[in-house]
Amino acid sequence: MTSTTSNNDTLFARAQLTTPGGVNSPVRAFRSVGGTPRFITRAEGPYFWDADDQRYIDYIGSWGPAIVGHAHPTVIKAVQDAAARGLSFGAPTEGEILIAEEICKLVPSIEQVRLVSSGTEATMSALRLARGATGRDKIVKFEGCYHGHADSLLVKAGSGLLTFGNPTSSGVPEDFVKHTLVLDYNNVEQLEEAFKNIGDQIACVIVEPVAGNMNLIRATPEFLQAMRSLCTKYGAVLIFDEVMCGFRVALGGAQALYNIQPDITALGKVIGGGLPVAAFGGRADLMKHMAPLGGVYQAGTLSGNPVAVAAGMTTLKLIQAPGFYDALSTQTLKLTQGLTAAAKDAGIEFCADAVGGMFGLYFAKQVPGTYAEMMTTNKDRFNKFFHAMLDAGVYLAPSAFEAGFVSAQHDDAVIAATVEAARGAFAQLK
């Protein structure tokens, strides 16, 4: 299916001896597209290089964090300086105050924030907070939204309204997920019906306001507005999971784009600039339920790690440069428009969407608005396209169901080279 190269093959064979599937996060294994994963040795700007010194234009950006480009000199310098002062103390630092102040300034719905080390911890802790603050157990999520791998959130949809979900992963007890109600993304009526039936039992609604884990799917403004007013009416907590879309679709995240304020926001990826920083934060009257003030417990040996915080803080400063998001959106749009034109010239059914520095590519007539629509896109075509692009030196997310990411270093020449590669790739699909 694809040309593999000797050093990557050797490393993959070796990795599988000591690591399940040879990878430390499943999608890296190329399971859905087939072939040998590339083992990366270094990265710079919009590129990374594999173990055979093959260079790729990178459109995953570490699955979101690399928004200013790889190995940005200012970020690297901040990390080196912080590391020289010591790697971890287990006691508070001023850096944690500075990044908390920055997050509260940039995301208006966040009055107080708690730092953690992964997006999974952020959403898991946000759920616990919602349950602790409301005294309710049930949570609502939407099919196709990924919120990390905490037990309550690894649940796929039941068939209809008020069908409680089955776990997507083995090892998750039924007892645990019976409190998770999975509804259809962008379905206002279903959400209203759920609240009408059990609104007084719902602790929270959690949503990716711009979904990036079923490829890219935008929420409609009506869907998010309905969610906001139903949560307010029934006393449920609205959690925006902006681990992926926060600081990616706009400086203030999706909530700034839609002008809708959640009660709690989960953040990750960009706020760590490539090192492990994530966070959850929101209304101060909710956050006061967190230990040591309140009874909702959450902790972390490396939470607010000084080296990681230095990378995150420096990244948050860089993305506030004037015109940063205009330029990022422009480049992302140039990419999606260029790809769409190339597909049209080749006579291939294809479309694309972009929000800020995030994009979706679909082998379909029109951009999907729901998980079910996304599932009807042509996955075989995507897989062939992925490998043709990889062979041409362009690294897309190795799955038809993931969004892509552009960095501030993807300049016109990089975008033009990508579109040129795509012309060749689309030609191979005929």
Q: Which residues participate in catalysis according to the annotation?
A: 146, 241, 269
Can you tell me which residue has the tokens 């599937």?
21
Residue 17 C-beta: closest distance to ligand PLP, Å: 25
Rounded to whole angstroms, how far apart are CA atoms 394 and 409? 15
Query: Would you tell me how many other CB atoms lie within 10 Å of the CB of residue 276?
Result: 20
Rounded to whole angstroms, how far apart are CA atoms 256 and 16? 43
Task: Name which of 74, 188, 179 is nearest 127 in CA terms.
Answer: 179
# binding residues, ligand PLP (CB under 6 A): 16
HEC readout, 323-386: CHHHHHHHHHHHHHHHHHHHHHHHCCCCEEEEECCEEEEECCCCCCCCHHHHHCCCHHHHHHHH
Query: Would you tell me how many other CB atoms lie within 10 Å of the CB of residue 68?
Result: 25
272 binds ligand PLP (CB under 6 A): no
Task: Name which of 6, 67, 87, 416 is nearest 268 in CA terms.
Answer: 67
Binding positions for ligand PLP, 315-374, rule CB under 6 A: none
What contacts 68, CB < 8 A, 6 or more positions away?
75, 273, 315, 318, 319, 407, 408, 409
Residue 308 C-beta: closest distance to ligand PLP, Å: 12
By CB under 6 A, name the one of 208, 304, 331, 364 that touches ligand PLP.
Answer: 208
Q: Give the nearer residue to ligand PLP in terms of CB position, either 350 or 405.
A: 405
Determine the distance from the C-alpha atom of residue 344 to the mean position of all C-alpha atoms in its chain, rounded to a whole number.
29
Which one-letter amino acid corresponds to residue 325? Y
Q: Give the nearer residue to ligand PLP in terms of CB position, either 136 or 147.
A: 147
Q: Give the nearer residue to ligand PLP in terms of CB position, either 157 or 207.
A: 207
Rounded to whole angstroms, how far apart are CA atoms 282 and 301? 23
Residue 80 C-beta: closest distance to ligand PLP, Å: 24
**Contact string (CB under 6 A) for ligand PLP, positions 102-141, x = contact:** ----------------xxx--x------------------
Q: Give the nearer residue to ligand PLP in terms of CB position, either 205 or 392.
A: 205
Binding positions for ligand PLP, 61-100, rule CB under 6 A: 63
Q: Which stretch binds ligand PLP (CB under 6 A): 72-80, 135-143, 144-152, 419-427?
A: 144-152
Name the 3-class secondary structure at 210.
Answer: strand
CB burial string 208-237: b at 16+ within 10 A, e below = bbbbbbbbbbbbeeebbebbbebbeebebb
By CB under 6 A, name the one of 48, 142, 146, 395 that touches ligand PLP.
Answer: 146
Q: Give the nearer residue to ligand PLP in terms of CB position, either 146 or 395.
A: 146
Residue 60 dihedral angles phi and psi, to the nearest 5°: -105, -25
Determine the distance from the C-alpha atom of residue 176 to the mean position of all C-alpha atoms in its chain, rounded to a whole number.
25
By CB under 6 A, name the one of 253, 268, 282, 398 that touches ligand PLP.
Answer: 268
Enclosing H/E stretch for 183: strand 180-183
Residue 206 C-beta: closest distance to ligand PLP, Å: 9
By CB under 6 A, name the one of 36, 62, 187, 213 that touches ligand PLP.
Answer: 213
**Contact string (CB under 6 A) for ligand PLP, positions 226-265, x = contact:** ---------------x-xx---------------------
Q: Give the nearer residue to ligand PLP in terms of CB position, either 96 or 208.
A: 208
Residue 330 C-beta: closest distance to ligand PLP, Å: 24
Q: Which stretch binds ligand PLP (CB under 6 A): 50-58, 145-153, 231-239, 312-320?
A: 145-153
Q: Give the nearer residue to ligand PLP in terms of CB position, either 22 or 144.
A: 144
The residues of the shown chain that bind ligand PLP, judged by CB under 6 A, are: 63, 118-120, 123, 146-148, 208, 212-213, 241, 243-244, 268, 278
